[in-house]
Amino acid sequence: MAGYVCTIAGGKGGVGKTTTALNVAAVLEAAGYDTVVVDADLGMANLGQMLGIDHDSSIHEILAGQATVDDALTETRGDVTVIPGEQTLEAFADADPANLREVITALREAYDAVLVDTGAGLSHETMVPLGLADGILLVTTPDDVAVSDTAKTADLADRVDGRVLGGLVCRVTGETDVAAITAAFDFPTLGVVPVDHDATGSEPLVLHAPDSPAAEAYELLGSTLADVFFEGADPAAGDLVFEASWFEDETDEEDDEEDDDSGGRFGLFG
C-alpha cells in the first residue's frame, strides 16, 4: 500500500512548521513507520541547516533535473530520513515546483509516511504541496497575523481540493486563548505545543529532551496523526492534544485568571 503524504503548512514563516515536521517524523519512526521529510520550502529552505547536516544533493537539484531522489536521501538522528534543500538564489531559480509531484509519487511508494515541509505565503510553490497531499496539517502561533494567514492557507488548500486535517498551535503559554484561535478556523485544532525552552536546533526535541512538555505534545500529536494516517481515524473526532501539567510551572500570579468567566486562561481548557 502506498504511503501517506502529509503536507505541513502555514501562512506565516517562523511558526514551527519545520520543527513540527521533524518531531512528528521522529515519533512515527519510533512507532515503526518509515518516514521521510521533504524540504519543499524552495525559497527559504532550512531543514538541512536546522539539523546541521551535510548532504550530497538537494530537493532543488532533483526539481532541476540534476539529481535523483535517491541521491538526496539523507539519514539523520532517530533514523529519520530527509531531503534537504538549498538556500541560493540560483538553486531557487532552477527548481521547477511542477516536478514535485513525481518526487512525492516516488517517495510514497518507498515510505509509510511522507511529510512535506512547505514555505510561507500564497504562491505556486506552496500550492503544489497542498494539492499533492492526502492530508494537510496547518501550523500557527497565537500571533494574530499568523492565525489570519493560516486561515487564508486553509482557503487556498480548499481551492486545490486539499484536505485539511486540522491545526496545531505552537508557542502556547498559560495565557493563550486557544478557544479564540480555534473559533477563527473552519477546521479542528488537533493540539497545542507549549513554549519550548529545551530545543537545541540540531535534532528533534523528542530525541533531545523527551521529558519536556513540548516533546510530550509532539509525542501525542504524532500518535494522533498515526491513527489518522494508518487507521483512517477522523481527526475531528479526537480530543485536543493538551495536558494541563505542561503549564504548571508558570508564575503563581496568573492563577487567579483560571476562574474567570471566559473559561480560564486557556479558554478551551478552563
pLDDT in tens, 9-33: 998 888 999 999 999 999 999 999 9
Residue keyed to cell 480530543:
239
Give which of 142, 242, 246 is closest to 198, Cα–Cα: 246
Query: Higher-confidence residue: 256 or 93?
Result: 93
18-22, 38-42, 195-199, range with the lowest pLDDT: 195-199
Q: Which helix (H) or strand (E) holds 189?
A: strand 189-194
Question: For position 258, what pLDDT does the model report?
Answer: 46
8 Å CB contact between 201 and 192: no
Task: Summarize pLDDT for 254-270 with one digit per residue, the tens.
Answer: 554 444 443 444 454 44
8 Å CB contact between 42 and 29: no
How many CB atoms neighbour CB 197 within 10 A?
Answer: 10
In the chain, which ranges are continuous DSSP H helix?
17-30, 47-51, 59-63, 69-72, 89-94, 100-110, 124-132, 144-159, 178-183, 205-208, 213-231
Query: Higher-confidence residue: 265 or 240?
Result: 240
Question: For position 79, what pLDDT does the model report?
Answer: 84
- Provide, rounded to the nearest whole percent, the portion of the chain with pLDDT above 90: 62
Q: Which three cell numbers stand for residue 183?
A: 473559533
Domains and CATH numbers, the chain: 4-247 (3.40.50.300)
Question: For position 198, what pLDDT does the model report?
Answer: 64
Q: How confident is residue 243, by pLDDT bands cut at 50, 70 and 90?
A: confident
CA distance 270 to 258: 6
Please give the torsion angle defined by the CA atoms of residues 203, 123, 66 and 53, in that order, rounded to the nearest 10 degrees: -10
CA distance 103 to 97: 10
Question: For position 262, what pLDDT does the model report?
Answer: 39
Question: For position 201, what pLDDT does the model report?
Answer: 59
Task: Summarize pLDDT for 116-168 with one digit per residue, the tens.
Answer: 999 877 667 778 999 999 999 999 999 999 999 999 999 999 999 999 999 99
